[in-house]
Amino acid sequence: DAGVTQSPTHLIKTRGQQVTLRCSPKSGHDTVSWYQQALGQGPQFIFQYYEEEERQRGNFPDRFSGHQFPNYSSELNVNALLLGDSALYLCASSILAGGTDTQYFGPGTRLTVL
C-alpha cells in the first residue's frame, strides 16, 4: 500500500517566480492538507481540501492556492515567490468522512527561493 507521495523532492526557484507542488494521498483517503515548515520550526497549516473544495485555510496570503482533483490528488501553487517562502512543504492525507483523526504525511518538498 503506497503511502502519501509528493513531487518534486527538491525545487529551486527565484524571487517572483511561481511554483506548483504535487501530492498523491494514501490509498482510500479523501482529504489532503498542506503544511509549511520553516527551518527549525513546527509545521504550519496552509489549507485543507475535501471533495475538490478548500475546506479550511490557515493564515497564509492569497499567493498560496490549491486544487484537488477527482482522484483526490492535490496541488499547491505559490505565486510571486518571496525569499521567506523557502521551506519544507508537507502534504498530509486523511479520511474525513470516516472520522479518522490521524493525518499521514508525505516526505515533503524542499523549496528554496533565491
Partner 1 sequence: SQQGEEDPQALSIQEGENATMNCSYKTSINNLQWYRQNSGRGLVHLILIRSNEREKHSGRLRVTLDTSKKSSSLLITASRAADTASYFCATDAFGETSGSRLTFGEGTQLTVNP
Interface ranges with partner 1 (CB under 8 A)? 4, 31, 33, 35, 39, 41-45, 48, 55-56, 58-59, 88, 90, 92, 94-96, 99-108, 110
In whole angstroms, how close is the CB of 71 to partner 1 at the nearest point? 20
In whole angstroms, how close is the CB of 38 to partner 1 at the nearest point? 11
Nearer to partner 1, 7 or 18 (CB): 7
Pairing of strands 31-37, 19-24: unpaired
Phi, psi of 98 (to 5 degrees): -85, 0
In whole angstroms, how close is the CB of 16 to partner 1 at the nearest point? 26
User: Computed from CA positions of residues 50, 56, 59, 60, in that sequence, does the dihedral angle turn out positive or negative?
Assistant: positive
Is the omega angle on the peptide bond into residue 107 within 30 degrees of 0, that is, cis? no
Pairing of strands 10-13, 109-113: parallel
Nearer to partner 1, 38 or 114 (CB): 38
